[in-house]
């Protein structure tokens, strides 16, 4: 019996009888109904003070004209029902704490549990953002220390912790370049971005009013100073580059590129998405960067949360400090307060003081690691990635022959040999309890598997991943149909993403 | 280092495999001059107990967090967070997962987001809501950019001055580089605190792209949204409503029912701690016809290969990782874990509980306002309020200082952001405030008027 048939037979026991699958709404294979479907009129999950009389009284106070009489379709469940619903949902997720999760460029490292505990301290969690500064000196001190730590780590002069995410950090950086140029009288219109860049880079350029010029990577996978010189003109405001790049390679000509840019009056914007390779290895400030943004949810261990919240601090050299976004804190008479007198600032990116809760977590991490621990983290991250690359090279060769750092991009020949695609490989990995790497990125590598193991994974975990990849390679040759139908061991089979986009159903409806 | 599992023996084996003698051989290709100056001059790493002690001391230096009776609002609101919400968001399966690019192992996240999207459409009475954004202010800016994609030929953006100052500043930043949109302030009526409809009427031309109205607004006033929408639509423009206190939507007529085209706001009130202002979440809801112009992630319903219901990210062709410089926004992530907190919170509060909580807020705020008036503290605006209102004081700074000495954070002075409201104080009252606290507030403000 082929593996696929065996798995199918095993699954048949769990499947509903033929008639049941025809019923509408379709049965969730996960077995967890929508919260709205679990609802019954009259149930409640809280006992709030006012009760029905309070509601009636409020309607009288405000008048019928202003008020609605119901929230149609809203759920009605008891507290234990709600808890069970969400805990059962949680069991349908993979997470870094439970599974190997080597998503390239995402830095899925261990999130120390102390981080969350510190953010939940009442002195931080219950602090209202409009609290007068003299009643929140601890929070402002944390902001100041965090700014100083990130400046030291990146080799930059000043840091703003305001951006809510990396993409907002990018926007802030580009708007600062624009403001700096406006102040000098002429705004250059173009920003150079390599073809290996993350999609947020060009999207941020558009929002900041710049036109994107694409730089092509050289034959060895890195950006050559000659290409930048070719594209440079008096209309180029900056180069926006990720270092190490999305192939995991340190950009060897970065200093020469920085010099070429500066010579023509343009700036170097360094995307710090891959900072986990650089801690104590090379500082962006020393490379010649004028701006760098960081992702605290990557390098600095704040949880990814299923897609946020993160934080995207932006660090600059001295000449751009006046342009940093609000808010800025300043020490006057030995006390931190907000500096309102910043005429050159690009303004606000969001309300209040940034994702402060994430700053507490990242600061906790930096204290725990220390300067020595951070340097160790990058070296071990690089070791882990180099090990995976080397051990898999027989069947999954690296996209580059050059040395790589904290991640590696691998390819394979299965699609031409057996019709098994990178997506099929990824789905089959799920059957072995591992989250797949980032796939089909960077776009310049055919069928890419972008693997970032991070420093917090053990040799045993890496070995198990390597073994699994080799096994899947063998399966793909022996029984390609089985691999193409993966996953087999989960409650759900492969999900049809095409239909979701073709006939969008974006909310539950009562009828 | 406790987070890094490598033993000396592991390192030896691994180095040998990759053909290196020592760890630093792996970074030998990084230019020497950069490596020479890369040392991070921070103190060495510390044991967990020492780190916990340091952070605990910093947290203890924020007396404003726990040592005061508080009436602070102004965009972030004090509400009780049920323990079950924390129990749910603390699950590592939720907290330590990433963007659900592999839906087969992300059904927890995708289904919760689908439920979040549905809850937001129910609260706003609009067709479709996205998976959440960074915060209310950036969501408001994104709503204007979305309106511009729907009506690309129009260029005047009329923004209520009674929108929170941070929101107005954020909008200015987001639109600053485009150079194509003209921001015009809509003044408020000094008596009612509502948008000056005559001024809006004057702007209602074929150039008007959209109006942006707080609901309730930055003074806590419930704007006559239906009339504002009507004037907006008469000019063929889009009406955007912005809500920083989303609890109000449980009781007030929903924006969608009043004709609003795009409803955005802040979701912090729904189960997120104050956390000095973040993270909360931004929500954004609109009409089905404009879904392809929406920014941010969307989760849709689909099936697996055996026909079972499942959920996945969808309509990604709007987004930056596909469209790059032609994307609808540069936003990459959402505030997923915050959206989960909101989904859990709203599920617990439920159809009755949320309305009753909103009602309790109204009762307490109105009672406080009445008690202050009885004590001679004048309300500033005649407009109706939800759980926040403005009072006029003769010496607001002195009153705030006197209150602080008595352990009360009485409110937010509007002097910095609204010179014409120099003597005015914004007071927010929620279910967290007891009758005794309200009495003490009245006492101290009556003394300082």
Which CATH number goes with the domain that contains A410? 3.90.1150.10
ipTM for the complex shown: 0.97
What does the alpha-carbon distance between residue B343 and residue B336 come to, in Å, rounded to a whole number? 10
The model's pTM is 0.96
- Of residues B184 and B330, more confidence is placed in B184
* Residue A168 to chain B, least CA–CA distance (Å): 8
Alpha-carbon separation of residue A106 from A170, A272, A303, A362 (angstroms): 16, 11, 11, 16
Asked whether residue A21 falls in the same domain as residue A139, the answer is no
* Residue A264 to chain B, least CA–CA distance (Å): 23
Alpha-carbon separation of residue B413 from A135, B400, B408 (angstroms): 16, 8, 14
Q: Which of B108, B145, B320 sits opposite A199 (nearest CB)?
A: B320
Right CATH for B64-81+351-447 from 3.90.1150.10, 3.40.30.10, 3.40.630.30, 3.30.360.10:
3.90.1150.10
Asked whether residue A293 falls in the same domain as residue A431, the answer is no
Asked whether residue A284 falls in the same domain as residue A202, the answer is yes
Asked whether residue A254 falls in the same domain as residue A400, the answer is no
Lowest-pLDDT range, A107-111, A203-207, B25-29?
A: A203-207
Could you tell me the pLDDT band of residue A40, with boundaries at 50, 70 and 90?
very high
What does the alpha-carbon distance between residue B438 and residue B419 come to, in Å, rounded to a whole number? 28
Asked whether residue A18 falls in the same domain as residue A150, the answer is no
Q: What is the mean pLDDT of residues A407-430?
A: 97
Q: Do A136 and B65 touch (CB under 8 A)?
A: yes
Token readout for A232 is 């440079």
Q: Does some domain include residue A403?
A: yes
* Residue A343 to chain B, least CA–CA distance (Å): 13
Q: What is the mean pLDDT of residues A397-420?
A: 96
Q: What is the mean pLDDT of residues A26-34?
A: 74
Per the CB < 8 A criterion, the answer to whether A315 and A323 are in contact is no
Asked whether residue A265 falls in the same domain as residue A290, the answer is yes
Task: Write the pLDDT tens digit of every residue in A451-501.
Answer: 999 999 999 999 999 999 999 999 999 999 999 999 999 989 999 999 999
Task: Tell me the domain boundaries of chain B.
Answer: 8-51, 64-81+351-447, 83-345
Kindly report the CATH number assigned to the domain that includes residue A297. Answer: 3.40.640.10
Q: Do B104 and A62 touch (CB under 8 A)?
A: no
Q: Does some domain include residue A100?
A: no
Q: What is the pLDDT of residue A9?
A: 44
What does the alpha-carbon distance between residue A334 and residue A340 come to, in Å, rounded to a whole number? 17
What does the alpha-carbon distance between residue A458 and residue B182 come to, in Å, rounded to a whole number? 56
Q: Do B34 and A202 touch (CB under 8 A)?
A: no
Alpha-carbon separation of residue B143 from A122, B155, B271, B296 (angstroms): 34, 14, 24, 11
Domain count across chain A: 3
- If one counts every other C-beta atom within 10 angstroms of the C-beta of residue B392, the result is 16
What does the alpha-carbon distance between residue B445 and residue B400 come to, in Å, rounded to a whole number? 8
What is the bridge-based pairing of β-strands B156-160 and B182-186?
parallel
Q: Which of A101, A209, A500 sits opposite B179 (nearest CB)?
A: A209
The residue out of A350, A368, A386 marking a domain boundary is: A368
Tally of helices (H runs) and strands (E runs) in chain B: 15, 15
Q: What is the mean pLDDT of residues B72-81?
A: 98
Q: Which of A126, A494, A499 sits opposite B65 (nearest CB)?
A: A126
Q: What is the pLDDT of residue A430?
A: 97
Q: Does some domain include residue A95?
A: no
DSSP B376: T
Probe site for chain B from A305, A379, A404, A464 (most B CB atoms < 10 A): A305
Q: Which of B13, B45, B166 sits opposite A369 (nearest CB)?
A: B45
**pLDDT > 90: percent of chain A:** 87
- Residue B437, Cα to own-chain centre: how many angstroms? 27
Asked whether residue A333 falls in the same domain as residue A468, the answer is no
Q: Does some domain include residue A97?
A: no
Asked whether residue A361 falls in the same domain as residue A384, the answer is no
Task: Write the pLDDT tens digit of every residue in B4-13.
Answer: 999 999 999 9
Could you tell me the pLDDT band of residue B206, with boundaries at 50, 70 and 90?
very high
B195 Cβ partners below 8 Å, 6+ apart? B160, B162, B186, B187, B188, B189, B213, B217, B223, B228
Q: Does pLDDT of A20 surpass 80?
A: no
Q: Do A86 and B88 touch (CB under 8 A)?
A: yes
Per the CB < 8 A criterion, the answer to whether A243 and A274 are in contact is yes
Task: Output the DSSP codes for A356-388.
Answer: HHHHHHHHHHHHHHHHHHHHHHHHHHHHHHHHH
Q: Compute φ and ψ for A228, nearest 5 degrees.
A: -65, -45
Residue-number span of the structural domain to which A175 is assigned: 114-368
Probe site for chain B from A41, A308, A357 (most B CB atoms < 10 A): A308
- If one counts every other C-beta atom within 10 angstroms of the C-beta of residue A336, the result is 19
Probe site for chain B from A15, A23, A122, A130 (most B CB atoms < 10 A): A130
Per the CB < 8 A criterion, the answer to whether A430 and B102 are in contact is yes
Q: Does some domain include residue A107?
A: no
Q: Does pLDDT of B112 surpass 70?
A: yes
A–B CB contacts, 8 A cutoff, strictly below: 728
Task: Write the pLDDT tens digit of every residue in B345-378.
Answer: 999 999 999 999 999 999 999 999 999 999 999 9
Q: Does some domain include residue A195?
A: yes
* CATH, domain range B83-345: 3.40.640.10
Q: Does pLDDT of A11 surpass 70?
A: no
Asked whether residue A167 falls in the same domain as residue A292, the answer is yes
Domains B64-81+351-447 and B83-345 share a fold: no
* Sheet hosting strand A449-451, strand order edge to edge: A408-410, A449-451, A438-439
B94 Cβ partners below 8 Å, 6+ apart? A90, A93, A95, A305, A306, B88, B108, B109, B112, B337, B340
Task: Write the pLDDT tens digit of every residue in B267-325.
Answer: 999 999 999 999 999 999 999 999 999 999 999 999 999 999 999 999 988 877 878 88
Asked whether residue A61 falls in the same domain as residue A161, the answer is no
The residue out of A319, A347, A368 marking a domain boundary is: A368
Asked whether residue A235 falls in the same domain as residue A293, the answer is yes
Q: What is the mean pLDDT of residues A39-68?
A: 88
Task: Output the DSSP codes for B190-221.
Answer: TTT-SB-HHHHHHH-STTEEEEEEESS-TTSB
Please give the residue of chain A at the shortest CA–CA distance from B265: A351
Q: Does pLDDT of A283 surpass 80?
A: yes
Residue spans of beta strands (DSSP E) within B180-318:
182-186, 208-214, 238-243, 262-266, 282-286, 299-303, 309-313
Q: Does some domain include residue A310?
A: yes
Asked whether residue A420 falls in the same domain as residue A348, the answer is no
Q: Does some domain include residue A48?
A: yes
Alpha-carbon separation of residue A245 from A393, A398, B232 (angstroms): 20, 14, 48
The residue out of A341, A368, A395 marking a domain boundary is: A368
The per-residue pLDDT of chain A, averaged, comes to 93
């Amino acid at each position: 019996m082929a593996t696929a048939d065996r798995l199918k037979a095993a699954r048949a026991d769990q499947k509903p009888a033929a008639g049941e699958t025809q019923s509408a709404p379709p049965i969730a294979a996960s077995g967890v109904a929508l919260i709205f479907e679990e609802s019954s009129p009259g149930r409640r999950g809280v006992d709030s003070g006012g009760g029905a009389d309070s509601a009636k009284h409020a309607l009288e106070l405000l008048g019928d004209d202003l008020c609605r009489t119901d929230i149609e379709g809203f759920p009605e469940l008891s507290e234990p029902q709600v808890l069970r619903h969400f805990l059962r949902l949680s069991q349908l997720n993979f997470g870094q704490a439970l599974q190997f999760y080597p998503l390239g460029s995402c830095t899925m490292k261990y999130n120390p549990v102390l981080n969350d505990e510190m953010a939940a301290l009442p002195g931080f969690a219950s602090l209202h953002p409009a609290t007068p500064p003299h009643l929140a000196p601890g929070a402002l001190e944390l902001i100041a220390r965090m700014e100083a730590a990130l400046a030291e780590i990146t080799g930059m002069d000043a840091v703003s912790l305001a951006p809510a995410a990396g993409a907002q950090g990018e926007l802030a950086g580009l708007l600062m370049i624009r403001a700096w140029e406006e102040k000098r009288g002429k705004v250059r219109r173009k920003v150079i971005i390599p073809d290996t860049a993350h999609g947020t880079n060009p999207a941020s350029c558009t929002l900041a009013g710049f036109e994107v010029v694409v730089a092509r990577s050289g034959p060895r996978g890195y950006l050559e100073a000659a290409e930048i010189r070719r594209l440079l003109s008096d209309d180029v405001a900056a180069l926006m580059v990720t270092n190490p790049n999305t192939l995991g390679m340190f950009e060897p000509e970065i200093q020469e590129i920085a010099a070429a840019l500066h010579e023509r009056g343009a700036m170097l914007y360094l995307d710090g998405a891959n900072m986990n390779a650089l801690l104590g290895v090379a500082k962006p400030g020393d490379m010649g960067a004028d701006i760098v943004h960081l992702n605290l949810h990557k390098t600095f261990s704040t949880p990814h949360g299923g897609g946020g919240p993160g934080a995207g601090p932006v660090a600059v050299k001295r000449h751009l400090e006046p342009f940093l976004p609000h808010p800025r804190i300043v020490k006057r008479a030995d006390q931190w307060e907000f500096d309102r007198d910043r005429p050159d600032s690009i303004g606000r990116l969001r309300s209040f003081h940034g994702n402060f809760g994430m700053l507490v977590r990242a600061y906790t991490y930096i204290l725990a690691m220390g300067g020595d621990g951070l340097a160790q983290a990058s070296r071990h991250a690089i070791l882990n990635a180099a090990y995976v690359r080397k051990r898999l090279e027989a069947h999954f060769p690296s996209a580059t022959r050059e040395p790589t750092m904290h991640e590696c991009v691998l390819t394979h020949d299965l699609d031409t040999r057996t019709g098994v695609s990178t997506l099929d490989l990824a789905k089959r990995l799920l059957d072995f309890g591992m989250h797949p790497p980032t796939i089909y990125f960077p776009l310049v590598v055919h069928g890419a598997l972008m693997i970032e193991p991070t420093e917090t994974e053990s040799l045993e975990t890496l070995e198990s991943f390597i073994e699994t990849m080799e096994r899947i390679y063998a399966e793909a040759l022996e029984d390609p149909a089985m691999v193409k139908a993966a996953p087999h061991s989960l409650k759900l089979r492969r999900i049809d993403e095409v239909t979701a986009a073709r006939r969008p159903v974006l909310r539950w409806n009562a009828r | 280092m406790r987070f890094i599992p490598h033993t000396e023996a592991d390192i030896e084996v691994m180095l040998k495999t990759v053909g290196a003698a020592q760890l630093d051989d792996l970074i030998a290709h990084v230019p020497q001059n950069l490596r020479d100056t890369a040392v991070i001059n921070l103190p060495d790493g510390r044991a967990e107990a020492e780190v916990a002690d340091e952070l605990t001391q910093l947290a203890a230096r924020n007396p404003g967090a726990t040592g005061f009776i508080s009436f602070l609002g102004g965009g972030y609101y004090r509400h009780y967070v049920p323990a079950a919400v924390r129990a749910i968001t603390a699950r590592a399966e939720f907290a330590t997962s990433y963007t659900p690019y592999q839906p087969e192992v992300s059904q927890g996240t995708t289904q919760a987001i689908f439920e979040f999207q549905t809850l937001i459409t129910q609260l706003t009475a609009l067709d479709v809501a996205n998976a959440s954004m960074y915060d209310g202010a950036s969501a408001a800016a994104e709503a204007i950019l979305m309106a511009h994609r729907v009506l690309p030929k129009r260029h005047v953006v009329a923004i209520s001055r009674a929108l929170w100052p941070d929101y107005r500043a954020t909008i200015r930043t987001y639109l600053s580089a485009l150079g194509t949109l003209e921001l015009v302030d809509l003044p408020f009526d000094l008596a009612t605190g509502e948008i000056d409809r005559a001024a809006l009427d004057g702007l209602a031309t074929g150039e008007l792209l959209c109006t942006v109205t707080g609901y309730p607004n930055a003074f806590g006033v419930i704007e006559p949204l239906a009339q504002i929408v009507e004037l907006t639509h008469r000019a063929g423009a889009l009406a955007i409503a912005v809500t920083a206190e989303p609890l109000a939507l449980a009781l007030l007529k929903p924006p969608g029912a009043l004709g609003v085209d795009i409803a955005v706001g802040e979701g912090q009130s729904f189960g997120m701690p104050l956390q000095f202002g973040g993270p909360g979440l931004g929500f954004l809801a609109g009409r089905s016809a404009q879904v392809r112009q929406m920014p941010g992630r969307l989760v849709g319903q689909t099936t697996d290969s055996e026909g079972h219901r499942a959920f996945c990210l969808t309509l990604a062709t709007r987004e930056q990782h596909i469209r790059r410089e032609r994307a609808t926004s540069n936003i990459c992530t959402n505030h997923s874990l915050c959206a989960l907190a909101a989904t859990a919170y709203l599920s617990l509060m439920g159809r009755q509980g949320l309305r009753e909580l909103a009602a309790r807020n109204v009762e307490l705020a109105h009672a406080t306002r009445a008690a202050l008036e009885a004590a001679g503290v004048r309300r500033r605006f005649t407009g109706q309020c939800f759980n926040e209102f403005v009072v006029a004081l003769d010496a607001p700074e002195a009153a705030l200082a006197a209150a602080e000495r008595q352990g009360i954070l009485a409110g937010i002075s509007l002097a910095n952001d609204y010179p014409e409201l120099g003597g005015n104080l914004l007071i927010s009252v929620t279910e967290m405030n007891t009758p005794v606290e309200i009495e003490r507030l009245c006492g101290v403000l009556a003394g300082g008027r």
